[in-house]
């Protein structure tokens, strides 16, 4: 009877995908600055989020952090200087690559042959 051999290959981590986290300023900060409890008041949440955003402004990996949160759809906490609400509603989203999203402008054409808007 032939014998079967099982070979197990472990996946190696791709550190280039998460290496930016080792350079983040928040590594030495308490997590509750970025992730508040469900029971906190609106005023307390706003103060906490502003403190977190202040730290994020000077972080060397802010853009990588924000890109990660947007790519994975991170629903909680302050990431890259954006709050949960900012990410959910697209508020104050910085251009990570401004030229990538730019579409060429179309020329406006006015024609006497077309009826005015609302008329047929």
Instruction: Answer whether 87's CB lies under 8 Å from 70's CB.
Output: yes
Per-residue pLDDT of 12-58, as tens digits, reads 666 666 788 999 999 999 999 999 999 999 999 999 999 999 999 99
Structure tokens, 112: 């006497």
The verdict on pTM exceeding 0.75 is no
Instruction: Answer whether 49's CB lies under 8 Å from 84's CB.
Output: no
What percent of the chain has pLDDT above 90? Answer: 53
Which pLDDT value is given to residue 15?
A: 66
* Residue whose C-alpha is closest to residue 78's, from 109, 116, 47: 47
Structure tokens, 23: 């350079």
Which pLDDT value is given to residue 38?
A: 92
Domain boundaries, the chain: 28-89
Backbone angles phi, psi at 79, to 5 degrees: -130, 125
Which pLDDT value is given to residue 31?
A: 94
* Residue whose C-alpha is closest to residue 87's, from 97, 99, 78, 95: 78
What percent of the chain has pLDDT above 70? Answer: 68
């Amino acid at each position: 009877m032939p014998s079967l051999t099982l070979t197990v290959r472990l996946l190696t981590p791709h550190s280039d995908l998460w290496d930016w986290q080792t350079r983040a300023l928040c590594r030495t900060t308490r997590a509750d600055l970025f992730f508040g409890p469900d029971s906190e008041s609106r005023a307390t949440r706003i103060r906490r989020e502003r403190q977190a955003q202040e730290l994020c402004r000077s972080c060397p990996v802010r853009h990588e952090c924000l890109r990660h949160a947007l790519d994975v759809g991170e629903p909680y906490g302050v990431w890259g200087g954006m709050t949960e609400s900012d990410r959910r509603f697209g508020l104050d989203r910085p251009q990570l690559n401004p030229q990538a999203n730019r579409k060429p402008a179309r020329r406006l054409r006015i024609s006497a042959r077309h009826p005015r808007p609302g008329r047929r």
